[in-house]
Chains A and B, each alone.
Chain A
Amino acid sequence: MIQHHTPGGLGAAESSRTAPFVEISQLSKRFGATVALRSVSFDIRKGETLGLLGANGAGKSTLIKILSGLQPATSGTVSVQGEGREFTSPNQAQQLGIVTVHQNIDDGVVFGMTVAENLMLDTLGLFQPNPFLTYRKIRRRARALLEELELELPLDLPVEQLSASDRQQVSIGRALAKSPNLLILDEPTSTLSSREAELLFGAVRDLQYRGISVLYVSHRMSEIEELCHRAVVLRNGSVVSEHQQPLDLRAVTQSILGDLASTSLGAGRQHAPGDVVMRLRGVRSGKETAPFDLEVRRGEVLGVTGLVGAGKTELLEQLAGTRPLESGVITLNGSEYKPKSVADAIAKGVVMMPEERAVQAIFPDESVSRHLSIGRMGKVSRLGFMDRARERSFAEQVIAKFAVKAAGPDAAIETLSGGNQQKALVGRWLVEQQSLVILDEPFRGVDIGARAVIATELHEYSERAAVIVASSDPEEVLEVADRVLVMVDGRIVSDSPAFEMNSEALADAMSEVQRTTTSGAPQS
């Protein structure tokens, strides 16, 4: 799937690649008692694509927020083309051509406006001789932009009706439309499917050929290897190493994880499928797709993969009570299971972690501890009264078990880095006994070390309960699953033990079949 060609732009831009575009010097940032960045210094050279790496909470997003004018630094300087700058607003950074696509995708779109308006948002504020700007005109320009970027998006739909990956594409499109001198991408692919990611890589290579700098953050090594000329690694807020192409992936990983590198990464294991926990008969993922049967067992992690829109979420939500059952019969531990609501499903021991963290799981301004107990309040209350002590000890348990980096259980959830939020929200379901745990895209924004922690926990957990993990990234699925289902257009096209599969075969199964089917009515 990923071709290993070296990053482009080595020709014409090569000579100027030594001159720095942005120089970061002795930059520090503190939040109360937490030091997020500590005397960070490095350059971003003209025309280079620089990878910024680090574990969850290393300080990557913080650095980016400073560079883009969203947050002030505590101390240190940033200079652009040799001139010292202090950004006090995102506008100032943009005037110098520093354009950012933030980790939280909804920072990049304006709800209540259509896709076309969102794409053209930045030109709306510009002075124009003709003050009358019709929607038709906006739409025409937006369409031209999409054509140039080879994107396909529904222009007239309000952005809030788009899927996460489409919203991400809108923010990327918006950023590219600003013709940046430095494009900053904070985990841009965490919500994209591999096909959409390829489009993004194409756009990045295009920028490379035009001599435009890119700062690229990702937890996926293959992307860094494919795109970046150079990589800088942050750990606990300090720069710990710098790597040149060709990258020594082992050294990079070691440097990212530090002491933690010794914890076994994706250790091989034998699994012994146990009793059937859930049995599906004649269930379908959508109204018009073919029905199928499926058995979910204790003792194995069932991976479900498929392109974005293949029907994974639609299927899983029926199991979790979020959607009514389309057809068929489900039994859970031998008796009929027909959840009337999510609450009903949870009461029967079926829990699901939804895929979109910000929209579906985060309560603004609330503490970590409240997030951890919200779905299990019956267990931390007596006669309806909350038992704060029990609540706190549960939170501490999750934080410790999943190495969540937080100031404490009472810290507001927004003060955690993206990956740490994810670890906490996944971990809250894995401490207690459930019948079936469903995780939709659990690895979004989670670093390699934490992925290994979650995978190990899942394996151990699957001894006691059935576990389903859905992801559109075949490599992620192989990392954690014992058995892999591939879905295409709402159907299950392959079901096999993970050791028989590799990521190429999975990627083929995900897309090949789709190309040959003519009834390619898109789901969701």
Chain B
Amino acid sequence: MTTTAPADVPTASAPLPGDEHRRPAIGPKLAAFTFKYGLVLVLVLMIVFFAVTQPAFRTVDNFLFILQASAVVAIVGLGATVSMTVGGFDLSVGATVSLSVMVAATTMVKFAMTGTTAILFALLAGVGVGLLNAFLIVIARIPDLVATLAAMFLVNGVTLWWVNGQSVAVGMTIDGKPAPGVFTEVFEWLGSGRFLGIPASVIVSAVVFGLVVVLLNFTRWGRALYAVGGNPVAAEAVGIRVRRYRVLAYVISGLLASIGGVLLVARLGRGDVAVGDAYLLQAISAALVGYAVLGANKPNAVGTLVGAVFVATLINGLTMFNFPYYAQSFVQGALLVVALLMSYTLGPRRRR
């Protein structure tokens, strides 16, 4: 026996009965809006507020100063972002910054080589750490978090050992004699030079940012990186060399951390011990704040840059209000919590 309803079945896009009376629900819409634009909106409002209340804030110089202050965090954070795209996590970026700072400083000061050589060695050191991470994770199959934690300790240890736990500065005495080398011109330019009025470090970070944006968003390799992070089994099944991409991601992460280190040592003009430590948390939190930018809900280059600039702006503005420097950590923590609330609590529910 069969009973059949009228033959004409409405299509999926036809309105539901009662649709005309339906008022769009405010709650979910607001949540969706906040999820997407919330963080950018807060940044803009914050900039407007500081600009209105603090005349010193709204100068071009201060603007460039903020960008300069966020340059190293942004570059290191972009590296961490790339490691996150493959579903990993690089805890060794801070240690890599320290390592490359020391490598660059000793190359010039102790061995009196050129700045270009120093940069080359520093970047090679960064790639080396990336390869170490890749070895531990891809070959030895240690989970990312644990492997890069171990690498962090190892790299920190090696760095300290290498300089006997001492800072490296021009004119320091080594074995009773003054050190032969100096920071060369390249480093002076990187540290305080300008091009068309823009600080060198800002130019370098802009270039790095551009390259990472292009890599992640516009190339097939970027697609593959995200695919590996999304589902490595499925990625393998469509012919993506998962292991190679994970190696690539960690090498890029190490390389960018060492670029950050080079900029840092150029700005400081000396190789301080453990100077990179602070950059681990800042870089990672910039990358995580980036999840909440424009509703990406995944590691992304634009978000990381916004995250880095956000922190620098906030600290800059608060300093003008005489906010104590020791409260900076708290401010960063609060920002991270807000960003995580936006991406995880207000964002679409994820499975598992």
Contact = CB atoms under 8 A, between A and B. Distances in A.
Contacts of A35: 10, 12-14, 16
Nearest to A429: B238
A359 interface: yes
A346 B18 CA distance: 51
Contacts of B239: 341-347, 375
Given A364-B230, A375-B239, A377-B224, A34 B1 contact: no
Q: Which of A238, A343, A363, A381 has the most CB of B within 10 A?
A: A363
Q: Which of A251, A359, A361, A377 has the most CB of B within 10 A?
A: A377
Nearest to A347: B239
A237 B233 contact: no
Interface stretch (B65-73, B215-223, B276-284, B335-343): B215-223
A239 B4 CA distance: 9
A366 interface: yes
Nearest to B220: A377
A38 interface: yes
A364 B220 contact: no
A362 B227 CA distance: 10
Contacts of A386: 218-220, 223
Interface in A29-56: 30, 33-36, 38-39
Contact of B227 (A258, A360, A374, A414): A374
A235 interface: yes
B13 A33 contact: yes
A38 B1 CA distance: 24
Nearest to B222: A386
A244 B1 contact: yes
B231 interface: yes
Contact of B4 (A111, A240, A352): A240
A252 to B, nearest CB: 8
Contacts of A111: 352
Contacts of A378: 220
B12 A237 contact: yes
Given A370-B223, A374-B227, A384-B220, A235 B3 contact: no
B2 interface: yes
Interface residues of A, number: 55
A366 B3 CA distance: 41
B221 A384 contact: yes
Given A33-B13, A35-B14, A374-B238, A255 B4 contact: yes
Nearest to A240: B5
Given A240-B9, A374-B223, A363 B231 contact: yes
Contacts of B241: 341, 343
Nearest to B6: A240
Tell me the interface secondary structure of chain B in the complex: loop
A345 B241 CA distance: 12
Contacts of B237: 322, 342, 352, 354, 360-361
Contacts of A236: 9-12
A322 B350 CA distance: 29
Interface in A252-285: 252, 255, 258
A239 B219 contact: no
A243 B10 CA distance: 21
Interface string A323-362: 0000000000000000001111111000010100001111
Interface string A368-383: 0010001101100100
Contacts of A375: 238-239
B219 to A, nearest CB: 5
Q: Which of B9, B221, B298, B352 has the most CB of A within 10 A?
A: B9
B185 interface: no
Contacts of A239: 5
Contacts of B1: 243-244
Nearest to A405: B12
B187 to A, nearest CB: 33
B197 interface: no
A432 interface: no
Contact of A34 (B13, B17, B233): B13
Contacts of A33: 13
A366 B16 CA distance: 29
A248 interface: yes
Contact of A30 (B9, B16, B226, B348): B16
Given A39-B17, A341-B239, A251 B233 contact: no
Contact of A248 (B2, B9, B12): B2
A242 interface: yes
Q: Which of B16, B18, B348, B352 has the most CB of A within 10 A?
A: B16
Contacts of B352: 111
Contacts of B233: 359-360
Contacts of B236: 322, 342
Contacts of B227: 363, 366, 374
Nearest to A236: B9
A478 to B, nearest CB: 27
A405 B1 CA distance: 31
A90 B235 CA distance: 32
A121 to B, nearest CB: 15
Contacts of A248: 2
A360 B234 contact: yes
B314 interface: no
Interface in A391-449: 405, 414
B156 interface: no
A163 interface: no
Contacts of A132: none
B4 to A, nearest CB: 4
B158 to A, nearest CB: 35
Given A35-B14, A364-B230, A235 B219 contact: no
Given A236-B11, A342-B237, A363-B227, 14 more contacts: A28-B16, A35-B13, A237-B12, A238-B5, A241-B3, A341-B239, A352-B237, A360-B234, A361-B237, A363-B234, A364-B230, A364-B350, A377-B223, A381-B219
26 contacts: A74-B16, A111-B352, A236-B12, A238-B10, A240-B4, A242-B2, A242-B3, A243-B2, A244-B2, A255-B2, A255-B4, A322-B236, A347-B239, A352-B237, A362-B234, A363-B226, A363-B235, A364-B230, A364-B350, A364-B351, A365-B298, A377-B220, A377-B223, A385-B218, A385-B219, A385-B220
Interface of A: 28, 30, 33-36, 38-39, 74-75, 111, 235-244, 248, 251-252, 255, 258, 322, 341-347, 352, 354, 359-366, 370, 374-375, 377-378, 381, 384-386, 405, 414
